[in-house]
Amino acid sequence: MSDWTGGYVAEIGYTAGYYAELNPLRIKLAFLAAGYAFPEAGTACELGFGQGVSTNVHAAASVTSWYGTDFNPAQAGFAQELAAASGADVKLYDQAFDEFCNRADLPEFDFIGLHGIWSWISDANRHVIVDFIRRKLKVGGVVYISYNTQPGWAAMVPLRNLLTEHAQLMAAPGQGIVPRIDASLDFAEKVLSSGALYGRANPHVAERLGALKGQNRQYLAHEYFNQDWVPMSFSSLRNWFEEAKLTYACSAHYLDHVDAMNLTAGQQELLNEIPDRMFRETVRDFMVNSLFRRDYWVRGARQLNMVQRVEGLRELRFAMATPVDQITLKVKGILGEADMNEAVYRPILDCFNGYRILSFKELEDAVRPAGVSLEALAQALLILASRSILHPAQSDAVIKTTLPACKRLNRMLCEKARYSDEVLAMASPVTGGAIHMNRVDKLLLLAGAKGSKDPETSARFVIANLALGGSRIVKEGKPLDTPEAELDEAIRMATAFNEKMLPMLKALRIEC
């Protein structure tokens, strides 16, 4: 009997996360910050879409045609259910990479996304993907890839091998993946506690093992317990991608573009002395002890001059996606937490009063009297976007076009919140992507859509729906003792939602 999983964990589904870097709209700010021309994404593809939340959100919230595959039929089925609800232009399959990548009906793509698959597949599948990119990525097209990398994983590789070997060899026959994970973690802890010299030579490994024990088992199954797991250096990935004529463009993580947050002055000086840009990335990974990279690669990098870069920046639009009272002027980079300059950030944030959508040019004109330069504004927007306080925004025409599909998808996600908190994303036609939204807030939005006019009615709706699945309102992490206390807390939450959250959702056109 053939194993259709190819050694990949299939008995437990991947988490239903949303990954903003897969939103092609985000490419523009990153590419302009790095000084490169960017493509408009008319066609896009995600390989290994998991539960399909990101693919479906981006298909519903944009005018891009999306394609994708995930070999797990249960995950593909859920993704197709989301697609049917939104009615967006998206075609999703449950085919393995070699089958999907050789389909005769696929177009050429402007954007191909690979989130969380490259490190966990075989070399044979990597060859399939690189060949697919070579054949199907348009000139000027972009590949987004996230992957585990070296040197950050160097000390953990032996421990991961110990965990997976224990799960394969020591588990009782018929034991499921979760008990095998628990047993492997316990065994590894015993090994380190025995005084193993490996643990003494790598003292931080015990701390990381302790952190693993507290993590979601779905995540651990797919992160650590697949047959294939290769944290790959940047230079090794470059060798793979050269076959597809790809050039490294820039990090997809906006904060990586701000060197002062991640590198000392001496490190920046050393990197600037290295003429080869690719080798600089390898050296930078040593400086920050990189564990995980999120990168954009492009087929035909085209550098912009300063005039083109500034003109491109001035055309970008931004929307606020965080209630003002929740914004703290602090940011955390590799070097630690830093204060954000009030004189720069407060004038920028004040421009977004009432959740206005503003262009870079409008912001530039508004903050110039406060002494905020163009370069300071560009860096501030990168930092604010890295914290999801601000998001790149689409044109009014695209917002109008995508609103119906977003609304249909959001209605389904809100209805699912009646019995599950698995998906914590809601699609915005303004940002072309999603914002995080917890289960209670989704139920409060749904209550309003069903006609609730006051906080108490909404609160009772939330309590009743949580009770269907055996859940309750909690306060400070604990269930409340009496129905009266639970209702009081639910009313407080509904009131706060109406006053703080709902205005932002309306501005982002998140409706159900």
167 confidence band (pLDDT: 50, 70, 90): confident
Can you count the helices (H) and strands (E) in the chain? 22, 16
- The sign of the CA dihedral 179, 182, 186, 192 is positive
386: phi then psi, degrees, rounded to nearest 5:
-65, -25
Report the run of H or E that residue 474 belongs to, with start and end.
Answer: strand 474-475
Q: Are 377 and 348 in contact (CB under 8 A)?
A: yes
User: Can you say whether residue 367 is alpha, beta or left, with left for phi > 0 and alpha for psi between -120 and 50 degrees?
Assistant: alpha
Whether residue 3 is predicted with pLDDT greater than 60 in this model: the reply is no
pLDDT in tens, 473-493: 989 888 888 999 999 999 999
Whether residue 13 is predicted with pLDDT greater than 80 in this model: the reply is no
User: Can you say whether residue 300 is alpha, beta or left, with left for phi > 0 and alpha for psi between -120 and 50 degrees?
Assistant: left
Distance CA 20, CA 54 (A): 8
Q: How many CB atoms lie within 10 A of CB 482?
A: 8
9 confidence band (pLDDT: 50, 70, 90): low
Q: Where are the beta strands (DSSP E) in 149-290?
A: 247-251
Task: Report CA 12 to chain centroid distance, whole Å.
Answer: 21
DSSP one-letter code for 21: G
143 confidence band (pLDDT: 50, 70, 90): very high
Return the structure tokens found at 41: 């994404």
> Where do the structural domains in the chain lie, given as residue ranges?
20-151+231-298, 157-224
Mean pLDDT of the chain: 93
Q: Are 125 and 75 in contact (CB under 8 A)?
A: no
pLDDT average, residue stretch 421-436: 96
Question: Which amino acid is it at 499?
Answer: E
pLDDT average, residue stretch 431-442: 96
pLDDT in tens, 80-134: 999 999 999 999 999 999 999 999 999 999 999 999 899 999 999 999 999 999 9
SS3 call for 510: coil
DSSP one-letter code for 13: P
pLDDT of the residue at 2: 46
User: Can you say whether residue 354 is alpha, beta or left, with left for phi > 0 and alpha for psi between -120 and 50 degrees?
Assistant: left
pLDDT of the residue at 6: 57
- The sign of the CA dihedral 219, 222, 225, 228 is negative
Q: Does domain 20-151+231-298 have CATH number 1.10.10.10?
A: no
Closest CA to 270 of 289, 282, 283, 255: 283
DSSP one-letter code for 156: T
Q: Which residues lie below 8 Å from residue 494, measured CB to CB, with a gap of 6+?
A: 444, 447, 455, 456, 458, 459, 462
Count CA atoms within 13 Å of residue 383 on its CB side.
Answer: 27
- The sign of the CA dihedral 45, 47, 52, 57 is negative
SS3 call for 440: helix
Q: Are 153 and 124 in contact (CB under 8 A)?
A: no
Distance CA 131, CA 77 (A): 27
Return the structure tokens found at 439: 């289960």
Query: Among the listed ranges 146-150, 306-310, 323-327, which one has the minimum average pLDDT value?
Result: 323-327
Distance CA 429, CA 448 (A): 20
Distance CA 371, CA 206 (A): 49
Distance CA 338, CA 336 (A): 7
5 confidence band (pLDDT: 50, 70, 90): low
User: Can you say whether residue 138 is alpha, beta or left, with left for phi > 0 and alpha for psi between -120 and 50 degrees?
Assistant: beta
